[in-house]
Amino acid sequence: MQGCTCHQPSRVAVHSPRVGMPARPAGCSTVGMPRPALLDRLDGSPFALPRSLDRCSELWWSRSPRQRFAIVVALVILTVAGGISHVAATPYGPPATVLVAAQDLGVGHELGPTDVRPTSWPEGLIPDGAVTDAAGRLGAPLPAGSVLTDRHLAHDGIAALLPAGTVAVPLPVEAIPAIEPGQWVDLIGRDVQGAGGVLARDAQVLSTDTVDVWVAVQRDQAPDVAAAATTGTITVVVVGP
């Protein structure tokens, strides 16, 4: 109709509450309420990384996935290797395997697989001449827990000929009959009254030279035999086969 003016309803702005935030009670005003500090931080320009880190980030993402994977693997390997090196770097050096005596071993003992056991020792504490092969005969006592070295082994000489559990005693050659290495003898001693007594039975002759005859006797017999040999009160009796 002419001259008729239609009044349209005015638009009212409706503010929906933020998702996740509680609704404001009706009739409550925000005027004068402090603004949360987190909102102040979120507003404004984005956080800028240092230029060096920003450059590293660009280089990293410019690589292909395969290259990035290879870099990560390399870093892991280097980290593990560094940790192992740090643990191994003790004040006495990295560990090494040595052979130690499992029990007290005497002179002339023939080494077997159960006589020694492998043990890890710091490299700086390992004595010179340590061996890794338990073979041969001992020429020197080896207490339990001691490291086996070449000085304990009887490479040659009298000690290499000793039967297990015996020791070698020298006798003056002038007091010995004509005997050969490998023969068996009984050793007879005399006391101050001239009475004789057996000092050792079945002593093996180890070697002879122009000065001494070396015989193998039990360890507890050695003091009496050596004393009789020194005083010249010993007699050697050859034992037949």
Comparing C-alpha atoms, which of 239, 240, 233 is closest to residue 175? Answer: 233
**Contact (Cβ atoms closer than 8 angstroms) between residue 184 and residue 236:** no
pTM to 2 decimals?
Answer: 0.40
For residues 65-92, average pLDDT = 75
Q: What is the pLDDT, as a whole number, of residue 79?
A: 82
Q: How many residues does the chain have?
A: 241
pLDDT tens-digit readout, 104-151: 987 668 888 899 999 988 888 888 889 888 888 787 778 899 999 988
Q: What is the pLDDT, as a whole number, of residue 217?
A: 92
Helices (H), 118-180: none
For residues 206-233, average pLDDT = 87
> Residues with Cβ < 8 Å from 208, sequence gap 6 or more?
173, 176, 179, 180, 181, 214
DSSP 2: T
The model's confidence at residue 240, banded by pLDDT at 50, 70 and 90, is: confident
Helix (H, G, I), strand (E, B) or coil at 203: strand
Compute the mean pLDDT over every residue in the chain, rounded to the nearest whole number.
76
Q: Which residue has the tokens 């503010």?
A: 15
The model's confidence at residue 16, banded by pLDDT at 50, 70 and 90, is: very low
Residue at 240: amino acid letter:
G
Burial of 73: CB neighbours in 10 Å, binned 0-12, 13-18, 19+: exposed
